[in-house]
Structure 1
Amino acid sequence: MEADSRPVVTAALVAGLLAGFGIAIPVGAVATYLVALTARTSLRIGVCAALGVATADGLYALVAVVGGSALTGLIEPIMFFLRPASAVVLIALAVHGAVTAISRHAGRRAVSSIDPAAPGPFRAFLALLGLTLLNPMTVIYFTALVLGTRTVTEPPEQAVFVLAAFVASASWQLLLAGGGTLLGRTLTGSRGRLVTALASSALIAILAVVTLVG
């Protein structure tokens, strides 16, 4: 019995890893904000923010394997409200980032490795967790994967699937955070920080519009 269950557990592990990477790798507003946040703060804050994103992906994977087919019917009626809410959060982040960058540049403040106005590690974790949870497509994505495979029907396989999805998402988000650290070390000048902050805010705003009309 134990030997027979190993292929099923392995299949759940592979499915979870593929699911986690599949939802994490496409570069969207959350990934853009994560890189920008790490670039202007520190790797420690970036790591906490990255774990916030991965935690949200893990929670949605858990909800998907537990809820099954009932989830799609529950999500669809509130999709009308979730998309505008997500767009509002993204626009607020874009405006805040742009205003902060312009104010700092206009005042010619000294550039430091840590932005005093930036969120702390715990706040960064909560902010990225909340932002990722606002994306209803994540839970639909995981639900479709769970319904499309028979390898996550029992509690042990479900646990392996969720853990693997979290690990895959976390590894990619931490890679993005590391990239943000390198970006921050390279663009240390005041003008470089202004340009990258404005570019990031513009991209986040565009993605907010896409989220709203998509």
Structure 2
Amino acid sequence: MTAALLAGLLAGYGIAVPVGAVGTYLVSLTARTTLRTGVCAALGVATADGLYALAATLGGSALASALRPVLGPLRWVCVLVLLALAAWGAADAVRRYRGRRLTDRPRAAPPGAARAYLSLLGITLLNPTTVIYFAALVLGSQSGEAAGPVEQSVFVAAAFAASASWQVLLAGGGALLGRALTGHRGRCG
């Protein structure tokens, strides 16, 4: 039981701590909105991590053998998707710079708590890094089916809790950043 708890905590923190695009977006979203919205978005990220941990424990060897042949092409697809998104963002930035329309862009209303949860859940489920991490977790640890349902449940709960604690910490940092930028000192320079 302790091994499952520690493995789940390590898996949860292992995917959550390296701050990438999703973590950066979470901090900026919370800075622009409220802590409540940020916490809901953080729980969306943690839910996706928990779902992948659940798939890793339930799928075990069957999922590992299904993933093994497509892991190489999956990495290349993820690379191509990220490169396409980067090229699209760069082209949009260059187009706006050339048109000098950097400041006259209309601002969309910030998302509410439910929309933030669903958005970050979807983004994290489609995040290639998360997919590859949990695929590697399944491939590297084929003892998932040897563990009983209690150990599997503890692993999934620990992975979710670890991810949630880190994501909520990021949301709290975003709230502090937003407060610092919109407070008296942030506005006056």
Interval of TM-score (by shorter of Structure 1 and Structure 2)? 0.7 to 0.9
Aligned to 2:150: 156
Matched, 1:137 2:145: no
Structure 2 portions without partners, runs of 5+: none
Aligned with residue 59 of structure 2, among 64, 67, 88: 67
Q: Measure the CA separation in 1 of the matches of 2:148 and 2:54.
A: 13
State how far apart, in whole Å, the 1-side matches of 2:66 and 2:29 are: 33
Q: CA deviation at 1:71?
A: 2.6
Give 3-state SS (helix, strand or coil) of 1:20's partner: helix
Residue 118 of structure 1: CA displacement? 1.3
Identity between Structure 1 and Structure 2 (%): 56
Partner AA of 2:161 in structure 1: V
* Alpha-carbon distance in structure 2 between the residues aligned to 1:123 and 1:91: 27
- The Cα offsets for residues 44-88 of structure 1, whole Å up to 9 and x where unpaired, read as 111111001100110000100111133344345361445544666
For normalisation by structure 1, the TM-score amounts to 0.67
Larger relative CO (CA 8 A, sep 6+): 1 or 2? Answer: 2
Residue 15 of structure 2: aligned partner:
23
The amino acid of 2:19's aligned partner reads V
Q: Decide whether aligned partners of structure 1 residues 58 and 108 sit closer, same or farther in structure 2, where only a CA change above 3 A counts.
A: closer
> Following the alignment from structure 1 to structure 2, what is the Cα–Cα distance between the partners of residues 131 and 173?
14
Give the counterpart of 2:160 among 158, 166, 172: 166
SS of alignment partner, residue 117 of structure 1:
coil
- In structure 2, what residue type is equivalent to 1:182? L
2-side partners of 1:85 and 1:173: how far apart?
Answer: 24
Q: CA RMSD in A?
A: 3.3
Structure 1 window deviating more from structure 2 (162-171 vs 81-90): it is 81-90
Quickly say closer, same or farther: Cα 1:63–1:150, change in 2 above 3 A.
closer
Map 1:1-214; keep pairs closer than 5 Å.
Answer: 9-75=1-67, 77=70, 79=74, 80-85=76-81, 106=103, 117-134=109-126, 135=128, 136-144=131-139, 146-147=141-142, 153-188=147-182
CA offsets 1:1-30 (integer angstroms, 9 cap, x no match): xxxxxxxx1221111111111111011111
Matching residue's letter, 1:23: I
How many angstroms does 1:120 deviate by? 1.4
CA 1:84–1:90 in 2, change beyond 3 Å: closer, same or farther? same
1:123, CA displacement in angstroms? 1.2
Moved more, 63-72 or 27-36: 63-72
Shift of 1:139: 1.9
Q: Which moved more, 1:119-128 or 1:151-160?
A: 151-160
Determine helix, strand or coil for the equivalent of 1:106: coil
**Contact persistence 2:60–2:144 (CA under 8 A):** no
Number of residue pairs matched? 172
